[in-house]
Amino acid sequence: MSRILIAEDEPRIAAFVEKGLSANGFAVTVVGDGPSAYDYAMTGGFDLMVLDIGLPGMDGFAVLRKLRAERCPMPVIVLTARDSVQDTVAGLEGGADDYMPKPFRFEELLARVRLRLATDRTAEPTVLTHGGLQLDLRTRRARVGGRTVDLSAREFAMTETFLRHPGQVLSREQLLSHVWGYDFDPGSNVVDVYVRYLRRKLGAERIVTVRGMGYRLDG
């Protein structure tokens, strides 16, 4: 099991990322300030760090520079609201392996984490398949029973989420967080709307309603 260190001082975002990564099989530790991020990273007990720039005590840029000066090889994904070109360049030149601006979609962060952790990049599938439904992650096209189906960005993200958890009941909250990110309205009915869209495009029988719990992708 890969071990992820999250350095983020905003509790809502830290909890969102921790919950999502834990649900996908990672062991997660959260710290909320720069000195702690540096100390934990230097223990050698982690495989990757998700690093916020605006940390108290020592900002993320300083943490990164200090780690690289100590020849710490751990991959670092910078996650920050500071998305100017200058900040992006500073992060990458300072030793970051990747740079993601906020707000962000969890599925994209997860994909980047998996990419940085992969020792063999061919291990991450490029086509997800279940019960006659295929989703090509490169061309972003779906195929159902031999026919190609065009999906919007949200429809694609929801289909990918279902295909990564086939047969598993996913709650509306899980789907909202995976597809719409951490700034979602838990009272929204947008998940139900998009499930209807997908049923029309992929087949009404594929996505089953589990009353009081959520939705499940069947074969």
Exposure on the CB side of residue 202, measured as CA atoms within 13 A: 32
Query: Count of domains in the chain?
Result: 2
Q: Are residues 115 and 149 in the same domain?
A: no
Instruction: Note the pLDDT of residue 120.
Output: 40
Q: Are residues 17 and 94 in the same domain?
A: yes
Q: Left (φ > 0), alpha (ψ -120 to 50) or beta: where does 149 sit? A: beta
The tokens for 92 are 């990458």
Q: Are residues 76 and 51 in the same domain?
A: yes
The H-assigned helical ranges of the chain are 11-23, 34-41, 60-69, 85-93, 106-117, 153-164, 172-180, 190-202
Q: Are residues 9 and 104 in the same domain?
A: yes
Q: Are residues 40 and 113 in the same domain?
A: yes
The predicted model scores a pTM of 0.56
Q: Are residues 188 and 174 in the same domain?
A: yes
Q: Are residues 153 and 114 in the same domain?
A: no
Distance of CA 171 to the CA centre of its chain: 17
Q: Tokens 């869209």: give the residue.
A: 197
**pLDDT digit string, tens, across residues 53-100:** 889 999 988 998 888 888 888 899 988 776 565 655 565 666 788 888
CATH (domain of 112):
3.40.50.2300
Q: Are residues 25 and 62 in the same domain?
A: yes
**pLDDT digit string, tens, across residues 2-13:** 899 999 999 999
Question: Which of 54, 88, 121 corresponds to the end of one domain?
Answer: 121
Q: Are residues 81 and 134 in the same domain?
A: no
**pLDDT digit string, tens, across residues 11-56:** 999 999 999 999 999 999 999 999 999 999 998 889 999 999 889 9
The sheet carrying 127-130 orders its strands as 127-130, 133-136, 141-144, 147-149
Q: Are residues 55 and 149 in the same domain?
A: no
With contact defined as beta carbons under 8 Å apart, do 87 and 79 qualify? no
Instruction: Note the pLDDT of residue 87.
Output: 59
Q: Are residues 107 and 201 in the same domain?
A: no
Domain with 33, as residue range(s), is 3-121
Instruction: Note the pLDDT of residue 123.
Output: 46
CATH (domain of 189):
1.10.10.10
Question: Which of 86, 121, 156 corresponds to the end of one domain?
Answer: 121
Question: Which of 103, 121, 139 corresponds to the end of one domain?
Answer: 121
Q: Are residues 103 and 149 in the same domain?
A: no
